[in-house]
């Protein structure tokens, strides 16, 4: 069985908004009469191809069939509602969450099963100036929708990031409802970092996206949010960006900065064991490493006497979940299997130190448990 937890959609209502805009994010028609998606204002190229894979449910189901994916937990693609005024964000969030519930609820079931093939992650009207009560209403709406299992969230919060104390009531509500937060990047880092050379989308996507996710979740951890909301369930896009590789450096820097050290109950590495990670890292060594970092987290609980140093990859695999990033990274030829999917599946199959139990867990079982799909 195969469950895809990282797969995006622009529902038709959202695509219409993008078509109506004259600045990014927008969908435009180029000189060849083709629709193109311009996702950031400073994109160097003429955007990227956009089509039915982004909004047509049959295209999503065809993609799933082509790659043996039984169930997809579909989330809205970036940049969500970030660019809207509070009233527009509020009403579009409500309508899109309704649309997504219907998109999932009316999808076909799995053969000989009562499980749907599509579940969803809604969104919140997180924009500067919105009232917290509007955000909490969206949390309630999502919690009541039978096929929505949580929400996807960018890194801006109410404009000041995810370490903004004003978000505490939102985290509290999400925690109480048991919803999943799928944390996903959009902005990268300041594009001056990429220099003058023509490198297409490689640098912002390969580096900027993971840098942004890493920064957002690190700021969240440093704010002490996991000490205040210990049952919050956050899934990190792209296998946690670079947080795993930087986590011991982060702990060391905190050790040398009393302001932060005195704020946190535990060593920074402990909090990585409270996170979930998609398995969208394209290589087996990367997946293995993330599973080690999660496995070791318990050693860093305050007061822990666990000094085990031998790497254990099995325990950590329980917090890793297969994903595709569809419809991004399409193949260059339309008939072939998507290389990004094939690579991520091969990576799961190739992790040294995982048995068939761990591989099956990452492919499907962990997601069924995490999203309470049964």
Residues 194-223 within binding reach of a second copy (CB under 8 A): 194-203, 205-207, 210-212, 214-215, 218-219, 222-223
Shortest Å, Cβ 224 to a second copy? 10
CA gap 196, 164 in Å, rounded: 34
Name the DSSP letter for residue 190. -
Q: Binding-site residue total for a second copy (CB under 8 A)? A: 74
Name the DSSP letter for residue 146. T
Q: Which of 72, 97, 324, 340 binds a second copy (CB under 8 A)?
A: 340
CA gap 306, 286 in Å, rounded: 25
Query: Rounded to 5 degrees, what angle do the CA atoms 358, 277, 56 make?
Result: 100
The residue range among 67-75, 93-101, 108-116, 156-164 that interacts with a second copy, by the rule CB under 8 A, is: 156-164
Shortest Å, Cβ 353 to a second copy? 8
Decide if residue 46 touches a second copy (CB under 8 A).
no
Q: For residues 321-335, b (16+ Cβ closer than 10 Å) or e, as one string?
A: bbbbbbbbbbeeeee
The residue range among 19-27, 59-67, 114-122, 326-334 that interacts with a second copy, by the rule CB under 8 A, is: 326-334
Q: Enter the tokens of residue 249.
A: 């450096």
Binding mask 177-196 for a second copy (x = CB under 8 A): ------------xx-xxxxx
Q: Which residue has the tokens 């990227």?
A: 48
Decide if residue 144 touches a second copy (CB under 8 A).
no
* Residue 218: closest CA among 140, 161, 281: 161
Decide if residue 158 touches a second copy (CB under 8 A).
no
CA gap 373, 29 in Å, rounded: 40
Residues of span 296-315 touching a second copy by CB under 8 A: 296, 309-311
The residue range among 122-130, 171-179, 329-337, 356-364 that interacts with a second copy, by the rule CB under 8 A, is: 329-337
**Segment (H or E) for 295:** helix 284-296
CA gap 317, 332 in Å, rounded: 32
Decide if residue 161 touches a second copy (CB under 8 A).
yes
β-pair partners for 29: 35
Is there a contact between 287 and 320 (Cβ–Cβ < 8 Å)?
Answer: yes
The residue range among 22-30, 82-90, 104-112, 278-286 that interacts with a second copy, by the rule CB under 8 A, is: 278-286
Decide if residue 320 touches a second copy (CB under 8 A).
no
Sort strands 35-38 and 48-49 into parallel, antiparallel or unpaired.
antiparallel
Shortest Å, Cβ 200 to a second copy? 4
C-beta of 92 vs 297, nearer to a second copy: 297
Residues of span 238-267 touching a second copy by CB under 8 A: 238-239, 242, 244-260
Residues of span 114-143 touching a second copy by CB under 8 A: none
321 by DSSP, 3-state: which?
A: strand
Decide if residue 41 touches a second copy (CB under 8 A).
no
CA gap 207, 189 in Å, rounded: 9
The residue range among 6-14, 96-104, 290-298, 361-369 that interacts with a second copy, by the rule CB under 8 A, is: 290-298
C-beta of 98 vs 242, nearer to a second copy: 242
Q: Which of 51, 329, 360, 368 binds a second copy (CB under 8 A)?
A: 329
Q: Is the peptide bond before 157 cis (omega within 30 degrees of 0)?
A: no
Q: Which residue has the tokens 């219409």?
A: 16
């Amino acid at each position: 069985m195969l469950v895809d937890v990282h797969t995006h959609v622009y529902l038709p209502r959202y695509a219409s908004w993008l078509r109506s805009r004259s600045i990014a994010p927008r969908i435009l028609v180029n000189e060849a009469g083709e629709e193109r998606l311009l996702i950031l204002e400073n994109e160097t190229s003429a955007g990227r191809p956009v089509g039915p894979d982004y909004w047509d449910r049959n295209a999503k189901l065809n993609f799933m069939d082509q790659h043996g994916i039984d169930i997809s937990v579909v989330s809205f693609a970036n940049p969500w509602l970030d660019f809207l005024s509070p009233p527009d964000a509020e009403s579009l969030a409500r309508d899109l969450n309704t649309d997504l519930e219907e998109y999932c609820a009316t999808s076909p079931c799995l053969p000989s099963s009562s499980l749907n093939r599509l579940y969803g992650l809604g969104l919140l009207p997180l924009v500067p100036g919105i009232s917290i009560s509007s955000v909490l209403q969206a949390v309630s709406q999502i919690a009541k929708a039978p096929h929505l299992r949580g929400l996807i969230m960018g890194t801006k919060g109410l404009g000041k990031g995810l370490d903004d104390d004003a978000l505490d009531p939102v985290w509290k509500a999400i925690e109480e409802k048991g919803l999943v937060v799928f944390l996903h990047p959009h902005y990268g880092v300041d594009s001056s970092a990429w220099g003058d050379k023509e490198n297409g989308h490689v640098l912002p996507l390969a580096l900027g996206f993971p840098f942004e996710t890493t920064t957002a979740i690190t700021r969240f951890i440093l704010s002490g949010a996991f000490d205040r909301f210990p049952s919050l369930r956050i899934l990190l896009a792209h296998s946690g960006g670079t947080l795993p590789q930087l986590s011991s450096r982060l702990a060391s820097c905190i050790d040398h900065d009393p302001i932060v050290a005195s704020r946190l109950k535990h060593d920074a590495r402990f909090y990585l064991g409270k996170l979930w990670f998609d398995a969208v890292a394209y290589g087996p060594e990367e997946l293995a490493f993330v599973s080690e970092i999660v496995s070791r987290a318990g050693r860093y609980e305050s007061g822990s006497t666990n000094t085990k140093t031998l790497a254990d990859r099995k325990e950590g695999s329980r917090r890793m979940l297969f994903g595709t990033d569809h419809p991004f990274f399409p193949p260059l030829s339309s008939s072939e299997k998507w290389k990004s999917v094939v690579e991520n599946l091969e990576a799961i199959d190739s992790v040294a130190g995982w048995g068939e139990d761990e591989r099956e867990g990452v492919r499907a079982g962990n997601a069924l448990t995490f999203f309470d799909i049964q």
